[in-house]
Structure 1
Amino acid sequence: MEHLLHRAIRGQHDHLLDLGCGDGTWLLRALQKHSGATAVGVDISGEGFDAVLAEAARRGLADRLELRREDVTKYQSSRKADLVLSVGAAYAYGGLLPTLNAAREHLTEDGMLLLGDCFWEHEPTPEVRAQQEIGPQKFADLPTTVAQVVADGWTPVYGYVSTLAEWDEYEWCWTGTLAQWALDNPEHPSSDLAARMAADHRTDWLGGYRGFLGFVVLLLRRTPPA
Structure 2
Amino acid sequence: MDLPRSFTIRESSHRIHNPLTSEKMATLGQALRLSPGASILDLACGTGELLSTWARDHHVRGTGVDISTVFIDKARARAEELGVADRVGFVHGDASGYVADRPVDVAACIGATWIGGGTAGTVELLRQSLAPGGMMLIGEVYWRHEPPDQTTIENCHATSRDDFLPLPELIEQFGGLGCDVVEMVLADQDSWDRYVAAQWLNIRRWLDANPDDELYNQMRAELTTGPARHVRYQREYLGWGLFALMNR
- What TM-score results when the alignment is normalised by the length of structure 2? 0.80
Separation of aligned partners in 2, 1:61 and 1:177: 28
SS in 1 for 2:163: coil
Separation of aligned partners in 1, 2:35 and 2:74: 27
In structure 2, give the amino acid aligned to 1:162.
A
Shift of 1:14: 0.6
Match of 1:120 in 2: 143
Q: Does 1:21 align with 2:54?
A: no
Shift of 1:10: 2.1
Distance of aligned partners of 1:168 and 1:222 in 2 relative to their CA distance in 1, 3 Å threshold: same
In structure 2, give the amino acid aligned to 1:195.
R
Aligned residues: 221
Residue of structure 2 aligned with 1:154, choices 173, 179, 196: 179
Contact 1:15 1:82 in 2 (8 A): yes
- What TM-score results when the alignment is normalised by the length of structure 1? 0.87
Q: Does 1:30 align with 2:54?
A: yes
Distance of aligned partners of 1:207 and 1:55 in 2 relative to their CA distance in 1, 3 Å threshold: closer
SS in 1 for 2:128: helix
- Cα RMSD, aligned residues only: 2.1
In structure 2, give the amino acid aligned to 1:119.
Y
| Structure of greater relative contact order (alpha carbons < 8 Å, 6+ residues apart) | 2
Contact 1:8 1:112 in 2 (8 A): no
* CA deviation map 1:88-132 (0-9, x unaligned): 111232221111111111111111112110111100122222442
> Please, which runs of 5 or more residues in structure 2 have no aligned partner?
1-24
Q: Does 1:195 align with 2:231?
A: no
Match of 1:54 in 2: 77
Shift of 1:203: 4.4
Match of 1:138 in 2: 163
Shift of 1:198: 3.4
Shift of 1:38: 1.5
In structure 2, give the amino acid aligned to 1:31.
A
